[in-house]
Structures are given as C-alpha cells and as structure tokens.
C-alpha cells in the first residue's frame, strides 16, 4: 500500500521525489498551512521493510536492534536540523512519528538541480563555479559549527539552484553525521554515491571530520569543471588516475580541488576556511568579496533600522504616558479649584461679617487661617488614605498575578510542585537550543537548567527522580487527544511535544554514562546516554 496521507490527512502525498539508502522524499500538500512541502521518511532499506497492508515499517530478520538504533539517531538528526537558520540551507518545519518510523517536513523548493544544470551545460567556467560554491561553503561551515555535524552527501543532486539560478541551496541531509554507520552485523557496505564519497565513509571505525565533506564537495566542483563523474574511490585506491582538470582553469583553482580530493583525509583541507582560502584569490574573488560585504552591510543596516524603530516606539510610549499623567494632574488641580471656590465663598462672607459686625478683624483673620490649615490637613489625610489604598490595590494585584502565574506554570501532586512548561511557545531568546515544541538538553544541561531556574518566585527547582516523573503517569485522570492517560492537567498534556521523553536525575546503576528517561507522552521508561539531548521538567518540594 503506497503512502497517500500522513497525520490524519494533514499531509496529502502527491508524488515521490527521490529515495536513498536511508529514506524516501515525497512532495506533499500541507492542508493546515496551505502550502507544498517536502517530507523525508526514515526508511533504512537494508534493515527494514514496509508491510503491504498497513504501510508500517518493520525490521528485517535479526535487524531489530539496528532499526531501533537508527531511528533514535535519525531523531537526533532531525532535532539538529531545526537549529539551522541559513539562507542557503533548506528550512525544516516539523517532525512526527507514524507508521513505526519518523518523518520531517521541510520547505519545497522550485528550482534546478545542480546535477541537471551541469548536464545541460557540460561544464561551467571558473567564475560561475565560484559564484555557486561561495554560499555553499558558508552553509557547510554553519553545519560544521553546529555540534560539529557533518553532511556527508554533498553531491550535485543535493544542491538546488533557485531564484533563477542566483541562489544555491543545500536540500538534503540523508547522511548527516548522527550515525547511520553500518553495524558489524549489517550487510550494508557503503554510504553515499561511490563517485563522491571518500574512503573513510565506507569504514565504520575510520575517523571522519570536516575533511570528509570537503572531499565530497570538491568532487562536485570537479564535475562542474569537467562535466564528468569523478572516478570511484575504490578505483582510485587501486591505482586508477583522476583525469586532470583543463588548464583553462587557474592553477590555484585546480590545486585547491586536487588537494580536497586527496584519498587520505589527513592530506586534504582540514576546514572550510582552508578550502575557501585555497579556492579564492585572497580568500575570495573581488566580486564575491564585494557581495559578501554588501550582504553584511544590509544586515547591519537592517539591525540599525530595527533598533531605531524600537527606540522611536519607546520614546512615543514615554511621551504618551507623560501626556496622560499631565492631563490627569490638570484634572485633579481643576477639581481642587472647584472645591476651593465653593468653600472660600461662604468663608469670605463669614469673615466679613465677623469683621464688620463683631468688631474684631483679628478674630476673622485667625478664623480664616484655622480653616485653611484644617483644609490642608484634610487634603493630606485624603492623600495618605489614597496612597495606602493604592499600595494595597497594587499588592493585591501583584499577589493575584503571582497566583495566576503559579496556577498556569505549575501543578502539585502530593506536595511536589511540577513545572508546567508552555511547550507550544518556543523560547525565542534561546532558539539555538530548542526544537519544535520546546528546548532540549543533555543530562548535565538539564541539571543546570533546573538548578538555575527561577520560576513563580522560587529558585529551589531541581531535576526529578525517575519515580517522581512516573507519578505523573499514575496520578493522571485526564486523557489527551491521542487517548493516553497521563497527565493531571489536560491543558499541559495537549501541549506536550510529540517525543515527550524527559530526563530524570536517576542514573543507570550498571552504566554511569547513561540516565533514565520517562516517556510522559507515550508512557514507560527508558535509558539514554547523558551526552544525548532530551526534554527537562523541573520540580520542587512545597
């Protein structure tokens, strides 16, 4: 049975765009967001197959552990991909689990595949090659700087030319660093296209690094210059020579490519910066350098304009507040004058009567002074009463707000206060360390997160014991939209991330490198290496 829809009809599968050893890419329509998307399905064909009737993936014989291990690593890859924010890297929107496997959605680009572009032109001149490759180098450098990730499959059909060929995009991450190295029991013996993959990529125990991606990228540049596929790595190790690049290309350009295609990783460029400096005169061609400078100037100008806009809005808010206070003060003064006139008029009459008929002008003046002092004292009493009332009102509002925050952000079971995180609201200030639905942490990072948490007026939060997390499963009376009985608060349950595994402080007694997780969304417990990332939910004793 072929895939037709996913996520209860949200995604309508239109066609298959391509497939590799570890996955299938589909073109789909997102009915919720009203847009076309590309969907990547995790499908390691060497360890799994699809059931004909149900569409579910099942492990091949004796491959259960490999399949589950690969799925876990693929999920880690998906989480990493959401960290990328680069104009030359395809944007990943969402991820979910279905059919016993994992999917992620990304933007669907309309453009020309670099492979097809090379075939249509046979070969590209040096200037055009550098124009295409310059932003790809920047994007690849971003990938390498994100948890030292590698792409490992940067061949021409994983690069798309969009915007009428003015922008090159990296579009596929099927062999990204997080694993998919064959196990010793697996019959799968290679990764990537043999024309573009280096020796170390066919060896599970061999060291890999930035030089691994540099080999693949230089093979792609070689094809752009020659119009021919590079010789397979195995053939080169057997002595077959690489046909030379035409002398029409500069010596600097040719040497840079040859060095990047050395068979031994230690003999290649060791970083994107080294490759960039090797490819471009003075690090960059003048025109490319000018483009980069202009882009940086535009970015700084945009930041400056935003800062000026924010400052203007701040000043306008201050001016409005000052004007409001001025009008309020004038109103108070005006009300005071009206009251003063109604009081002074009879006072003056009585004073005149005392002076005229009582024969004691001094008495009248003293009487008037006394009344004025009483009036001032009365105003002071009223002002003090108003001040006290205002302070009391503010205190009551603050306490009500504090209680509201406590109610919205925590819940309590058996005297233990649990953090009720707003998972549907990503943390914009810490965007580098989050995925769709909330932030994720290593085990040590989760401990530090809870230790440093200051929430609803308390700063004694901590990472819970495994048993304290399990209590959430046993205490719940509500069901979420999936039908599971977990959480004591339905609002929290419905906002849970799809992969709701949360760290506990409890370590594995048999292995100090792992700690226990509790599956809040699906129930149960499991262990995970402390260096991996998962969610954190903090607790404190009342």
DSSP 445-501: HHHHHHHT--BTTB---BPPPHHHHHHHHHH---B-TT--B--S-HHHHHT--SS-E
Residue 355 predicted with pLDDT over 50: no
The pLDDT value given to residue 481 = 47
- At 222, list the tokens: 């070689």
DSSP-assigned states of every residue in 146-205 = TTT-------GGGEEEETTTTEEEE---TT-SS--PPPTT------S-TTT--GGGG-TT
Q: Which DSSP state fits 335?
A: H
Asked which of 221, 248, 281 is the last residue of a domain, the reply is: 281
How far CA 147 is from CA of 69, 80, 178, 180, 211, in Å, comes to 20, 8, 10, 17, 16
**320 and 219 in one domain?**
no
CB 272 within 8 A of CB 218: no
> Is position 351 within any domain?
no
Q: How confident is the model at residue 289 (pLDDT cuts 50, 70, 90)?
A: low
Percentage of the residues of the chain whose pLDDT score is greater than 90:
32
**87 and 36 in one domain?**
yes
Residue 339 predicted with pLDDT over 70: no
For the beta carbon of residue 68, count every other beta carbon within 10 angstroms.
Answer: 12
User: For the segment 447-502, what is each residue's pLDDT rounded down to a tens digit?
Assistant: 998 888 877 778 888 999 999 888 877 765 444 444 434 443 444 444 555 556 88
Tokens 């590698």, residue located? 150
Asked which of 262, 281, 300 is the last residue of a domain, the reply is: 281
> Is position 186 within any domain?
no
Tokens 């990493």, residue located? 80
**134 and 251 in one domain?**
yes
The pLDDT value given to residue 340 = 54
The pLDDT value given to residue 338 = 57
Three-class SS state of 416: strand
Q: How confident is the model at residue 337 (pLDDT cuts 50, 70, 90)?
A: low
The mean-pLDDT minimum among 32-36, 310-314, 356-360, 364-368 falls in 356-360
Terminal Cα distance for the chain, rounded:
54
- 320 or 177, which is more confident: 320
**309 and 277 in one domain?**
no
Asked which of 107, 128, 163 is the last residue of a domain, the reply is: 107
Question: What is the C-alpha separation between 177 and 150, in angstroms, rounded?
Answer: 5
Q: Which DSSP state fits 536?
A: -
Residue 151 predicted with pLDDT over 50: yes
Residue 175 predicted with pLDDT over 70: no
How far CA 313 is from CA of 134, 277, 309, 316, in Å, comes to 39, 44, 6, 5
User: For the segment 88-114, what is each residue's pLDDT rounded down to a tens digit?
Assistant: 998 898 899 999 999 999 999 889 999
> Is position 371 within any domain?
no
**270 and 291 in one domain?**
no
How far CA 111 is from CA of 114, 163, 220, 267, in Å, comes to 9, 7, 18, 35
Q: Among candidates 29, 67, 71, which has minimal Cα distance to 48? A: 67
Three-class SS state of 393: helix
> Is position 187 within any domain?
no
**99 and 155 in one domain?**
no
Q: How confident is the model at residue 288 (pLDDT cuts 50, 70, 90)?
A: low
CB 453 within 8 A of CB 538: yes
CB 461 within 8 A of CB 511: no
- 257 or 288, which is more confident: 257
Residue 522 predicted with pLDDT over 70: no
Domain residues for the domain of 214 are 112-180+193-281
The mean-pLDDT minimum among 110-119, 290-299, 463-472 falls in 290-299
CB 55 within 8 A of CB 1: yes
User: For the segment 208-243, what is each residue's pLDDT rounded down to a tens digit?
Assistant: 899 999 999 999 999 999 999 999 988 998 889 999
State the total domains in the chain: 4
Q: What are phi and psi of 204, to 5 degrees?
A: -65, -35
Three-class SS state of 9: coil
Rounded to the nearest 10 degrees, what angle do helices 286-357 and 361-409 cross at? Answer: 150
The pLDDT value given to residue 479 = 47
Highest mean pLDDT among 65-69, 173-177, 400-404: 65-69
> Is position 386 within any domain?
no
Q: Which DSSP state fits 113?
A: E
SS3 for 291-335 is HHHHHHHHHHHHHHHHHHHHHHHHHHHHHHHHHHHHHHHHHHHHH
The pLDDT value given to residue 9 = 93
> Is position 335 within any domain?
no
- Integer-rounded Cα radius of gyration of the chain: 35
> Is position 236 within any domain?
yes
**103 and 58 in one domain?**
yes
**138 and 215 in one domain?**
yes
**117 and 208 in one domain?**
yes
Q: How confident is the model at residue 177 (pLDDT cuts 50, 70, 90)?
A: low
Question: What is the C-alpha separation between 410 and 489, in angstroms, rounded?
Answer: 10
Rounded to the nearest 10 degrees, what angle do helices 210-226 and 272-279 cross at? Answer: 30
Tokens 């009879």, residue located? 346
Residue 365 predicted with pLDDT over 50: no
**261 and 126 in one domain?**
yes
Cβ-Cβ contacts under 8 Å for 283 (sequence gap 6 or more): 276, 277, 289
Question: What is the C-alpha separation between 247 and 245, in angstroms, rounded?
Answer: 6
Q: How confident is the model at residue 10 (pLDDT cuts 50, 70, 90)?
A: very high
**27 and 118 in one domain?**
no
Q: What are phi and psi of 434, to 5 degrees?
A: -155, 165
Q: How confident is the model at residue 302 (pLDDT cuts 50, 70, 90)?
A: confident
Find the CATH number of the domain harbouring 102.
3.30.200.20
Residue 360 predicted with pLDDT over 50: no
**203 and 88 in one domain?**
no
User: For the segment 385-433, what is each residue's pLDDT rounded down to a tens digit?
Assistant: 888 988 888 888 877 877 777 777 787 888 888 887 644 334 444 434 4
Mean pLDDT of the chain: 79
> Is position 442 within any domain?
yes
The pLDDT value given to residue 438 = 58
């Amino acid at each position: 049975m072929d895939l037709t829809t996913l996520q209860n009809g949200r995604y309508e599968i239109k066609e298959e765009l391509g497939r590799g050893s570890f996955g299938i890419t589909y073109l789909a329509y997102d009915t919720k967001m009203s847009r076309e998307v590309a969907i990547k399905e995790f499908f390691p064909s060497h360890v799994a197959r699809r059931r004909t009737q149900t569409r579910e993936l099942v492990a091949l014989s004796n491959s259960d552990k490999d399949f589950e291990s690969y799925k876990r690593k693929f999920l880690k890859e998906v989480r990493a991909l959401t960290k990328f924010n680069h104009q030359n890297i395809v944007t990943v929107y969402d991820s979910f689990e279905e059919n016993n496997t994992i999917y992620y959605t990304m933007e669907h680009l309309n453009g020309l595949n670099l492979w097809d572009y090379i075939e249509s032109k046979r070969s590209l001149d040096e200037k055009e090659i550098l124009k295409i490759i310059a932003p790809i180098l920047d994007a690849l450098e971003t990938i390498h700087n994100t948890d030292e990730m590698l792409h490992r499959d940067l061949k021409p059909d994983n690069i798309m030319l969009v915007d009428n060929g003015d922008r090159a995009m990296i579009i596929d991450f099927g062999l990204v660093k997080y694993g998919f190295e064959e196990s010793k029991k697996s019959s799968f013996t290679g990764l990537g296209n043999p024309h573009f993959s280096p020796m170390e990529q066919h060896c599970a125990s061999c060291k890999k690094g930035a030089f691994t991606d540099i080999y693949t990228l230089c093979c792609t540049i070689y094809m752009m210059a020659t119009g021919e596929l590079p010789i397979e790595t195995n053939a080169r190790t057997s002595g077959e020579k690489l046909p030379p690049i035409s002398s029409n290309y500069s010596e600097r350009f040719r040497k840079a490519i040859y060095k990047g295609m050395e068979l031994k990783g230690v003999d290649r460029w060791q970083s994107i910066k080294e490759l960039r400096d090797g490819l471009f005169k003075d690090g960059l061609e003048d025109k490319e350098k000018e483009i980069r400078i202009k882009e940086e100037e535009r970015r700084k100008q945009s930041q400056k304009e935003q800062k000026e806009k924010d400052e203007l809005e701040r000043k306008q808010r201050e001016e409005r507040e000052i004007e409001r206070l001025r009008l309020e003060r004038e109103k108070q003064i005006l009300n005071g004058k009206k009251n003063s006139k109604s009081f002074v008029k009879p006072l003056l009459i009585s004073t005149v009567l005392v002076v005229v008929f009582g024969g004691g002008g001094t008495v009248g003046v003293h009487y008037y002074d006394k009344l004025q002092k009483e009036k001032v004292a009365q105003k002071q009493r009223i002002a003090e009463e108003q001040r006290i009332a205002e302070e009391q009102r503010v205190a009551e509002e603050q306490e009500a707000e504090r209680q509201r925050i406590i109610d919205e952000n925590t819940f309590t079971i058996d005297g233990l206060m649990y953090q009720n995180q707003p998972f549907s609201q990503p943390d914009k200030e810490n965007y580098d360390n989050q995925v769709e639905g909330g932030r994720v942490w290593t085990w040590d990072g989760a401990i530090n997160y809870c230790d440093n948490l200051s929430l609803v007026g308390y700063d004694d939060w901590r990472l819970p014991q495994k048993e304290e997390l399990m209590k959430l499963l046993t205490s719940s009376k509500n069901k979420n939209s999936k039908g599971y009985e977990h959480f004591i608060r339905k609002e929290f349950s419905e906002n849970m991330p799809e992969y709701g595994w949360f760290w506990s402080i409890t370590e594995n007694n048999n292995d100090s490198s792992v700690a226990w997780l509790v599956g809040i969304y699906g129930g149960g417990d499991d262990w995970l290496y402390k260096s991996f990332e998962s969610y954190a939910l903090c607790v404190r004793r009342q």
